[in-house]
Structure 1
């Protein structure tokens, strides 16, 4: 029996849906189909983002783009905090499709969204002072309200990921992205202000909220419910995810928050452009990791880590063969790409893009391994992994800035990504799934590319 790709009609019963027995052939077919939808959504999304990015850089000055980077960082952080581990929990938990479990998770999600909005308002003033930009106070406070909206999203959206039935969610994401982009560009066209980004966030959040309770609603209708056993299960797995999420936000955003405070909004604007481009392939892998590898690895773990180990090598080899060459190209010729896409004001983003792309090589390799820890339910080791990576980033940025100023800041950040790899390898060793030959080939060839890039520049 294969896992259904279409959501069945709404039923009044609160009984848990019968868990389908997904054979390996069916799991492979679901993974391939899901990967196709993920890459379609990611590819079209990146085209929309690039087009919008090019347009917005012509409507807004570099310092405004720097503020957009800070607002985007805060919004991304709020989105990460609002998850509190619900997604991987529902994907890997045996109760992941039970109505009571989903409604309890939804109730926790709503409460968390409200708390996050309050925290955003509390942090808005310190952020404005840190970056010497008073306008950030109101902007961050208002943008934080999107957490309340997202908190009410139906948790049935997470069941689509559990079933690797990603077509409806991908289509929704593209529609949301397109309409949000239209709203941002239109507002920026007339008013030339960073509030365009805030408006785009509200448009996307509202569309997703409505769709999750209507066209994408599943067999479980959301209502407030609090089952103690479900809460204990969610907290047992999610307590480390919560800490990991907080650390993950700092890992992904601390560079933006620090750079804006000592280098200024214009330099931050260049950096945000370079960072967004350098992370394109890494973001694609992280999307596949979250939406495909995590549910696939979770199903394979149910049959033992030996089966997981045998399947991982082939999956990772394919993903790295596809993702590394574009990152190598950005490492070698990122400055030419910036010169082609942007006007003369943004050319300093070119050398930044090359350095950050070199760091993204290690990010890409780690992205294909990382889901193992959550798939086996080891959220504690996942937390340790992110904590050590954050520490290495802080050391790298501080040491680099002290030795060579702003360029050293970027080099230290990129180098910290390479140093994070052996930490992850050590943490997954107890599960016997690491295949060193593949990673030796990936890092060895990448080291040659980085050497050529240094020689050319």
Structure 2
């Protein structure tokens, strides 16, 4: 008996070590972000597949218009709360957070009132006056988000990625369930809008429940407000240009296309944004706090550690994003009914941008973390110049498809500009960047082969 117990002990000890190793691996920031993006995209795909069977294509056109209006309004009043709080030396002081929270409430209230007042003129400008009430109701989302606790930001400062990610995934599941239930009952766009507002209410409530020291009180410290405005000047200018660079295609196409065709375009935009979710979350949630800490403690190692940190995620991401370009037609065929086949061409063009998005976003976060806040603004100016040149040319060559192509090709052009910024800051490793591009090209080739095989074998 003693011999048996003795022989089992090492096994138990070994299993325990392996379990602890797996838990430690799962708790790495990068792995948490990867898992969250995969789950979020899975939820988005399920939502899209189910809702396309309950709602007409025009519902997704309306959703795209409302989302574009909300994004435009939010970016016009963007003050850069997240990077400001994460970098600030007083980022944990209650009075500092009270001031940020108060400013956030005032900003959200101003946006809500402005959108309600302008809802009819905006709807008329788009040639779709029936959307006035939807625009006004959707504006309440800003007020709901504005009263959330700053813990959603300080969680990033303290690297509480797992808790924040769990909260956001829980809210996404809730929104999916509500939207599907309401779509089944109502069969119109109001289902999507009300689910979005309900999810906003839940997220705001959880921001106070899920984190310690979440309660805040109204305060306006003039010193902090001045610092915020000084910081936000670059952010605000960049955001205004970002509105043009990210929404011009939607505003123009919403006016040129009927709602059902615009719905196809929005479905393609949503699918193309699947990899973009990682390209946005990983640099801001993992790379930025990491690079900011490295810069504070040993700035001379920033270039080496920046590329070491992002090497494996970037290789995998670029290959996968390239795969989406190659498999775009078969992805549409698998996910949706034949009536939605028109979305395939839009997806193939739009999927070009995500291949390069992680590299541009990562470069930007490294530059900002090193104190070059103006890098974001300069990049936005470069985007503006690209679109001012490429959109008219694209429209002359290919009408609506030419516009979409101009948008899809913007990110490769911007990456060249980011390389110039990194080089000026002595942070560029061109060999590593070339390796990421090769991974993307391999993904396009592999995806094209898969698409060819499946379509010619009549499997889709």
- Does 2:310 match 1:316? yes
- Does 2:189 match 1:197? no
**Contact 1:82–1:151 (CA under 8 A) maintained in structure 2:** no
Inter-CA distance 30–431: structure 2 relative to 1 (3 Å threshold): farther
Tell me the distance in 2 between the aligned counterparts of 1:434 and 1:192. Answer: 52
Inter-CA distance 40–79: structure 2 relative to 1 (3 Å threshold): farther
Tell me the distance in 2 between the aligned counterparts of 1:219 and 1:395. Answer: 49
Query: What is residue 156 of structure 2 aligned with on the other side?
Result: 161
2:83 aligned to 71, 81, 88, which one? 88
User: For 1:374-424, what per-residue CA distance to the aligned partner results, in whole angstroms no more than 9, with x for missing partners?
Assistant: 212332221121122133134322211111112222222222221111222
Inter-CA distance 346–415: structure 2 relative to 1 (3 Å threshold): same
Inter-CA distance 81–198: structure 2 relative to 1 (3 Å threshold): farther
- Does 2:101 match 1:106? yes
- Does 2:135 match 1:145? no
Tell me the distance in 1 between the aligned counterparts of 2:360 and 2:90. Answer: 29
Residue 243 of structure 1, CA deviation: 2.3
Inter-CA distance 267–220: structure 2 relative to 1 (3 Å threshold): closer
Tell me the distance in 2 between the aligned counterparts of 1:305 and 1:77. Answer: 36
Query: What is residue 292 of structure 2 aligned with on the other side?
Result: 298
Matched pairs, number: 428
1:49 aligned to 44, 52, 60, which one? 44
Tell me the distance in 2 between the aligned counterparts of 1:82 and 1:200. Answer: 24
TM-score (norm 1): 0.87
Greater share of helix residues, 1 or 2?
2
Residue 227 of structure 1, CA deviation: 1.2
Report the secondary structure of 2:188's partner residue: coil
Tell me the distance in 2 between the aligned counterparts of 1:228 and 1:385. Answer: 30
- Does 2:416 match 1:389? no
Tell me the distance in 1 between the aligned counterparts of 2:73 and 2:58. Answer: 23
**Contact 2:76–2:240 (CA under 8 A) maintained in structure 1:** yes
Gaps of 5+ in 2: 1-23, 453-460
Tell me the distance in 2 between the aligned counterparts of 1:64 and 1:364. Answer: 31
Tell me the distance in 1 between the aligned counterparts of 2:74 and 2:363. Answer: 23
Inter-CA distance 452–321: structure 2 relative to 1 (3 Å threshold): closer
- Does 2:420 match 1:426? yes
Query: What is residue 18 of structure 2 aligned with on the other side?
Result: none
2:68 aligned to 73, 82, 87, which one? 73
Report the secondary structure of 1:84's partner residue: coil
Query: What is residue 246 of structure 2 aligned with on the other side?
Result: 252
**Contact 2:319–2:441 (CA under 8 A) maintained in structure 1:** no
**Contact 2:73–2:111 (CA under 8 A) maintained in structure 1:** yes
Inter-CA distance 134–252: structure 2 relative to 1 (3 Å threshold): same
Highest Rg: 1 or 2?
2
Tell me the distance in 1 between the aligned counterparts of 2:117 and 2:430. Answer: 46
Residue 341 of structure 1, CA deviation: 0.9
Tell me the distance in 2 between the aligned counterparts of 1:256 and 1:143. Answer: 18
- Does 2:170 match 1:175? yes
- Does 2:402 match 1:408? yes
**Contact 1:81–1:116 (CA under 8 A) maintained in structure 2:** no
Tell me the distance in 2 between the aligned counterparts of 1:31 and 1:75. Answer: 35
Query: What is residue 435 of structure 1 aligned with on the other side?
Result: 429
TM-score (norm 2): 0.87
Residue 138 of structure 1, CA deviation: 1.0
Inter-CA distance 254–396: structure 2 relative to 1 (3 Å threshold): same
